[in-house]
A and B are shown apart, each in its own frame.
Chain A
Amino acid sequence: MATKAARIGEEVWKSRVDKINAEVVTLTYGTIVAQLCRDLTVPNTINKTDYNAVNKELDRMGYNMGLRLIEDFLAKTGTGQCSNFRETAEMISKVGFKVFINITPNVSNWSKDSDSFHLVFEENPLADFVELPDDGRAQDELWYSNILCGVIRGAMEMVQMQIEARFVSDVLRGDDTTEMRVTLIRIIEDEMPPDDE
């Protein structure tokens, strides 16, 4: 099952995807984060960045991206519905990330009831050459690649799954690995609109 997802991902990446220079993406994303750090400051101060607000804003931007990316993803890969959360995890890591940024994070650390897992990023093209600012707080408060959490959350919501994604470690902060924890909150059932009568 894992190899089938990997094969789909590889095949779609090779044939059906337009490519863009990776440095352009890295620099654009870096500029976005740096600009957010300059714009979102703690109230009543001038230069003190509110890193929690930056994290939330990146998550919100990612959410909006994810809502749209899922359509593109489903059209390109033509995959059907996943039967369980484990299959979803494989699809996200081997096909989703592969098709859009050509990386395949590893799925690990499944919880006991199979409703949460860790994505371990060996390489993160968004964070190439980045050094977090030296003001003593960025190292502890900023999740630089938080847009990825938003993307997964937005994409999953469009396929009826409410999930929570957040980073637990980041090499930019000095940790050994970059890991994201994805937890399934609930499956969203279609709700009937309120009766007109």
Chain B
Amino acid sequence: MDSRSPSVACIGFIGRHNNPLHISLFPASGTGYESERNKLEYSFMLNSCLDIFEARMPTKGLTQDFGLLHALDERIAMYGWVTNTGVKIVVVVDMEGVPAEGARVTAGLGLRNSDLTPAFHALQTTYIRLLRNPFYVPDHHNPKLSKGTGSLQITSPRFIRDVERIGKTWYPGIGTM
């Protein structure tokens, strides 16, 4: 049995009013493991994280690293981060996502919270870049203020590209992203 190493399964951005802003899925790779991730299943998983955020919401309003939110089973674990504006970033890690090779060969002892920190920093930077675009109006993605119907998710191609790049290139022990 090849040794496997953790990889990102899903990245989710959830807005201040618990509205989904963006969900990116990353399929597992390697023989016998390939399968598309089920979007609905991962939506439910992200939903379940919201309760954990609610319970531990900090009163001070600084960007908080929640670390491991919840370990679903042997393979899936969810890590979370909330910014001071209430935007929540969730990274779902698949412990057996990719074959362990090259830079990904790790001691295999499991994941530390600090392993996810470069990914969260990079995701926060991507989100800030999106906010700096004058044509992105955060209120349009807010279900309480927006008058539109249909999906209120982020559509900026550069943002989606950056999130996918972060998800694909992350491995435990990576330095800056």
- By a beta-carbon cutoff of 8 Å, the part of chain A in contact with chain B is 23, 26-27, 29-31, 33-34, 37, 128-134
Residues in A whose Cβ lies below 8 Å from that of B129: 129
- Select one of A23, A26, A27, A34 contacting B135, CB under 8 A: A34
- Select one of B132, B157, B158 contacting A27, CB under 8 A: B132
Number of interface residues of B (CB under 8 A): 11
Q: Which of B133, B135, B137 has the most CB of A within 10 A?
A: B135
Whether B133 contacts A131 by the Cβ 8 Å rule is yes
Which B residues between 69 and 101 are near A, CB-CB below 8 angstroms? Answer: none
Q: How far is the CA of A26 from the CA of B137 in the complex (A)?
A: 16
- By a beta-carbon cutoff of 8 Å, the part of chain B in contact with chain A is 129, 132-137, 155-158
Q: How many A-B residue pairs have CB under 8 A?
A: 33
Closest to B156 in A: A131
Residues in A whose Cβ lies below 8 Å from that of B155: 134
Interface of B is mostly: loop
Given A131-B158, A134-B157, decide whether A31 and B132 contact each other with a Cβ distance below 8 A: no
Q: How far is the CB of A147 from chain B (nearest CB, A)?
A: 13
Selected A-B contacts with CB under 8 Å, 18 pairs: A26-B132, A27-B132, A30-B134, A30-B135, A33-B134, A34-B137, A128-B132, A129-B129, A129-B132, A130-B133, A131-B133, A131-B135, A131-B156, A131-B158, A132-B135, A133-B135, A134-B156, A134-B157
